[in-house]
Amino acid sequence: MNFRSLLRERLTAALAGLAPEAELSSLAELVVPSQDPKFGDYQINCAMALGKSLKRPPREVAQELVNRLKVDDFCNPPEIAGPGFINLKLKDDYLVGLLAAASGDERLGIAPVARKKQYIVDYSAPNVAKPMHVGHIRSSVIGDSIYRTLKFQGHNVVGDNHIGDWGTQFGMIIYGFKHFRDDAAYRADPVAELSRLYRLVNQLVGYFEAKEELPKLRQKLEYATAALAAAKNVAPAGDKNADKKNAQALKKAESDVKSATEAVGEVEKKLAAIDGDAALSALAAKHSRIGAASLEETAKLHSGDEENLKLWREFMPPCLEALEETYRRLHVTFDETLGESFYHDRLAAVVEFYEQKGLARESDGALCIFLPGQDVPMLIRKKDGAFLYATTDLATIQYRMERWKPDAVLYVVDHRQSLHFEHLFAAAKLAGYEGCDFRHISFGTVLGKDGRPYKTRSGDTVGLKGLLDEAVERAATIVAENDERNPEGPQLSADERRRVAETVGIGALKYADLSQNRTSDYEFSYDKMLAMNGNTATYMQYAYARVRSIFRRGGVDAAALRAKNVSIVLGTPAERNLALGLLRCEEAIELSTADFRPNQLTTYLFELANYYSTFFEQCPVLKAETSELRDSRLMLCDLTARTIKLGLSLLGIDVVEQM
């Protein structure tokens, strides 16, 4: 049950004829859960605003609203407090009835949406043959959770992995394969060898780019240094405003020097890595055209060159299998994996479509879509005839619209691509797809302790596999310690411990990501994510296992208990808070899909686990005074376990019976 929407409906009815029509919906929004139980369960806070627009005292308006409000079927009589807050408390027998219904329902009483929509979720989308890194975990995990939640709500959802399987990295890999391959290594582990080749070619290409860039960057640093010296020389103006401006200019000059120095340093480091290595320098000397040559390999692949196509077809299966392995471990699935290569044959047509409609025109030899309100046009065909990432995305939209007629398409991609999506969506509107809700579900960067993008000690971005392994390894230590500490002696076999560690480790990693506000950057920390206390998967899984252990210890069969028609007693605040918490699951789910923020769900689960914790401390279950009370509390325990399990499943996280 979503109490909040129910109350909004009732409030809307009460406001009709009283509030100005234009303000109705914004006033009806002002129903919020109470911060403190002494103000009831929910509060209606619109009497103040309404009083203002009606020019009447808010308390009087609140009274009139209360007279009009029909909620006596599920609330105690409303109370007015302070300047005009209306406090509402749900009736206990109403809650008890809902709990009974939830207990008898697979979906815990959470109704599917009345209006089914067709969604497409575009997530994960790594670039094949480049190692998947920690940034891709966010897209995979957030996207998967959104996918699961929408599906649970009853929507039609297509999960599509738009993998980068056709990009310029293949030109590099093909070049590397033709010139630098180690046959034995390739036979032993093709993906590792391809990814070595990619890194090697990329490094060499980067070397020549750096060489070209260095003089420009040095000059920039020189200018910045001169500008800083000049800024330092400015005499005090004696006028407050002018001084402030000068101080700001000085600050800017300082930060310009700092970033220019960093840029030079980075490029010098790239150069030194090759110049300081005899073997690499020899390679560089021999392959001075490597950048252009790699691009040529890509162009050949795209124009259907037999040899390159054959190589591409050979590389793809092991690369896809390696991705699949990671997805299996993460429990991330897709309905479709239509990568960039799938759209290759559609690019010319989509470009022609935009051209014929007069939406795209040539500029400097390149074909561009000029978008209303955007300074920079969207490039869809380069001077040399090559198509771009954006062109593929336009073709993808056309294909998806024709095949699935979606109401909404969600792109779960990091924030650095926001301009790309802004352009893409504007172009889609121009093409006539106004009816579809295109959304960039943007997310921030995963940071290390130093506040910079998370890297390994060697400076590489961290590969996903190593990340998962380490999380599981650390979880194994925690699981073993816990098990050893069990008052009844260790309960888990070595095999069980390993399985539990996998679930706990992967769960911790996913939850840590999902519990962040997705738009912010967050700091990656194994210690934090695996903490037994706090807003972590480990804590939630532990809460679940604790509930399940009550049933084991008491020899209670949960299914039999549910069939028994137990009437739940809400005798103490702890029991009532837990009950209300359980029944708010639907509200949390709806909140999480309103703006596609899984952290709404983790916040809810954490609150629920805390209510359970208090309940567990204050209310004996197996040792309850009467058998009726024991059954009632067992029912609350069972519902708690099921709600946690459901909530975690929407996040793509499993539970364990014992840990």
Report the interface residues with ligand ARG, using CB under 6 A.
Answer: 122, 125-127, 162, 164, 393, 396, 411, 413
Structural tokens at position 484: 């050893």
Cβ nearer to ligand ARG, comparing 393 with 502: 393
Smallest gap from Cβ 393 to ligand ARG, in A, equals: 5
Structural tokens at position 364: 């400097």
- E strand intervals along 405-462: 408-414, 437-443, 446-447
Smallest gap from Cβ 640 to ligand ARG, in A, equals: 38
Distance of alpha carbon 208 from alpha carbon 239, whole angstroms = 50
Single-letter amino acid code for the residue at 21? E
Cβ nearer to ligand ARG, comparing 39 with 312: 312
Cβ nearer to ligand ARG, comparing 122 with 638: 122
Cβ nearer to ligand ARG, comparing 411 with 522: 411
Smallest gap from Cβ 387 to ligand ARG, in A, equals: 14
Smallest gap from Cβ 129 to ligand ARG, in A, equals: 12
**């039609």: which residue's tokens?**
156
Closest CA to 86 of 97, 99, 77: 77
Burial class of residue 222, CB neighbours in 10 A (0-12, 13-18, 19+): exposed
Cβ nearer to ligand ARG, comparing 423 with 633: 423
Distance of alpha carbon 308 from alpha carbon 315, whole angstroms = 10
Cβ nearer to ligand ARG, comparing 109 with 126: 126
Phi, psi of 103 (to 5 degrees): -65, -35
Smallest gap from Cβ 112 to ligand ARG, in A, equals: 28
Smallest gap from Cβ 401 to ligand ARG, in A, equals: 14
Phi, psi of 632 (to 5 degrees): -60, -45
Cβ nearer to ligand ARG, comparing 254 with 336: 336
Which value, to the nearest 10 degrees, does the dihedral of the CA atoms of residues 536, 539, 542, 544 take? -80
Determine the 3-state secondary structure of 442 from DSSP: strand
Distance of alpha carbon 269 from alpha carbon 528, whole angstroms = 33
Spatial CB neighbours of 490, under 8 Å, sequence gap ≥ 6 = 483, 484
Smallest gap from Cβ 402 to ligand ARG, in A, equals: 16
Q: How far is CA 262 from CA 206, 224, 249, 267, in A?
A: 17, 12, 20, 9
Burial class of residue 97, CB neighbours in 10 A (0-12, 13-18, 19+): middle
Burial class of residue 450, CB neighbours in 10 A (0-12, 13-18, 19+): exposed
Beta bridge partners of 120: 158, 409
Cβ nearer to ligand ARG, comparing 221 with 351: 351
Structural tokens at position 352: 């022609």
Smallest gap from Cβ 330 to ligand ARG, in A, equals: 16
Distance of alpha carbon 286 from alpha carbon 318, whole angstroms = 30
Smallest gap from Cβ 439 to ligand ARG, in A, equals: 12
Distance of alpha carbon 180 from alpha carbon 146, whole angstroms = 42
Q: Are 531 and 502 in contact (CB under 8 A)?
A: no
Single-letter amino acid code for the residue at 389? Y
Smallest gap from Cβ 388 to ligand ARG, in A, equals: 11
Smallest gap from Cβ 122 to ligand ARG, in A, equals: 5
**């609150």: which residue's tokens?**
607
Q: Are 84 and 48 in contact (CB under 8 A)?
A: yes
Cβ nearer to ligand ARG, comparing 413 with 639: 413
Smallest gap from Cβ 64 to ligand ARG, in A, equals: 52
Cβ nearer to ligand ARG, comparing 162 with 584: 162
Cβ nearer to ligand ARG, comparing 438 with 511: 438
> Roughly how many angstroms between the first and final C-alpha of the chain, as a whole number?
32
Smallest gap from Cβ 138 to ligand ARG, in A, equals: 11
Report strand pairing: 31-33 vs 42-44.
antiparallel
**């994510």: which residue's tokens?**
529
Structural tokens at position 347: 């690019």
Structural tokens at position 370: 């000029």
* Exposure string over 292-305, b if 16+ CB within 10 A, otherwise e: ebbbbbbbbbbeeb
Smallest gap from Cβ 344 to ligand ARG, in A, equals: 15
Q: For 172, what's the count of Cα atoms within 13 Å in the CB-facing half-sphere?
A: 22
